[in-house]
Structure 1
């Protein structure tokens, strides 16, 4: 369902802190409970991790959409998504020989086991496809998730996970008016993927939400703030908002969130690392995600 043509005029830049709309159509801010203090190391192929944030949405009487993310202090042990058992040692060839004084003996050799060569089966090629033209994205939205870098390992399916409306509502704390908001912005579908970088130092979650138009995706980004986090610049991604949550101790996990849009898709990149996160890492991820959405690979 698309918003009316003249609706964009009603969407204005929100104040730094969203406030409840005046009567008679007041919409109280809804903020989800904070994330748990620690997330266990995921087992193989789990359901996609919940993002390290909870979001409250306020829809004012004038049609103003403000999205506020409440970031919880999260300590995450960035572990290996899938356990790989150590390889068994190769069998050794053994032989026994009998020797006697003054006479030669015929050695008796134990048969040497020949290891079976198991051909390596390449990972199946992804069948997820998508196209983009003039900022309009078609096909499977998972195709437009930022590709996992070399050596990175996915939590859950390598192609990522599609998101139902209930999944989206869960991310935003299940506010009562979430369906109304999604309908106003012509929401179509969503996709999410979390992966661990090759060096094991960072965990990255990319979330895509597909809206009815470029303007509607852009509106979703407007007024987006993360509570208790400092704003940071995102280089190479015009119009993006970045936020950083420093840990209380460098031994704990810090987090960053970047939000922006490209065409009719809004994207959010969440990064968790040990210690104070480097804004350059988020800038690089946001820039590459924007380019991937613009070109479709």
Structure 2
């Protein structure tokens, strides 16, 4: 039996699948969703094969670790093992029951350093999402202060679109936009300090929030401050400079291999075992640096 059929026998109906997470709902749990984080890995808007073994459990573990330390309202209702033993054993460690929210159609990105799409945009316009930045910055440079650079969430299989704050106001309204920006910057500041205590730099991250009928405050949802949603660098390596200073604890190994071995036409090639193993090790290392410190 498939996971879907086994969960359906337990009363959980499949509702939606994203690039990494699968959502299920149940009449026995109104206002709740079961979230299963898979080992799927994506790059260049394609889901790749094979997945990264253990990735889903590591992402869930780190999200739960942060949910318990940020002091923010979150969507979390329960997590394994408190879910009980009725779920299929292969879902252990990768499942959460969460409150159903009305999700904002934007990703709340905060950047403390110039990297990724922010670096590409800066080179073209000396700004990121409409925010002007000083001249002469180089890739990986620390910004004068963290900046909030939202993105519009694209449908599955398409690329998210960086937008200005003014465009975000048009999408969600001025009050919600201000609340999302303030909350995102506050969490980023808190998380950056925690990361620095563990010898890590939080270069950038994305948050997702929803509305709860019982609160006016944005509710933190999805995953938070994981390898899939954030770019972390080793502080010592960064300070030493050199080619490896921007090596991140994420799937950049996968992106680099794919960029060198695929012209982005047709289906992407299967990932070699060595690339899968190295990526899994990077995910594990980041979790260990936080949870074992």
TM-score category of the 2 structures, normalised to the smaller one:
under 0.3
Larger proportion of helix: 2
Which one has a bigger Cα radius of gyration? 1
TM-score, scaled relative to structure 2:
0.26
